[in-house]
Amino acid sequence: MITCLAPDEKILSTAQTALARSHADIRIEQGLLSAGVEKARELINDGTEIIITRGGTAKAIKETFPDIIVVELPITGFDILRTVHQARSLGRRVGVVAFASMVLGIDCLPSILDVELRQYLIENEFEAEAKVLQAFRDGAEVIIGGVITGHEARKHNLPHVRSQCGAEALLHSVREAKRIYAARRADSGKGT
pLDDT value at residue 190: 62
Burial (0-12, 13-18, 19+ Cβ within 10 Å), 30 = middle
The residues near 75 (Cβ < 8 Å, ≥ 6 apart) are: 54, 101, 102, 103, 104, 163, 165, 169
Q: Compute the distance between CA of residue 94 and CA of residue 187 in angstroms, rounded to an integer.
A: 47
Distance CA 92, CA 71 (A): 34
Predicted confidence band at 46 (pLDDT cuts at 50, 70, 90)?
Answer: very high
Q: Is the pLDDT of residue 175 over 90?
A: yes
pLDDT digits (tens, 9 = 90+) for 64-81: 999 999 999 877 777 788
Per-residue confidence band for 104, with pLDDT thresholds at 50, 70 and 90: confident
Residue 36 has pLDDT above 80, yes or no: yes
Percent of the chain having pLDDT more than 90?
58
The residues, ordered by sequence, that sit 6+ positions from 20 with a Cβ below 8 Å of its Cβ are none
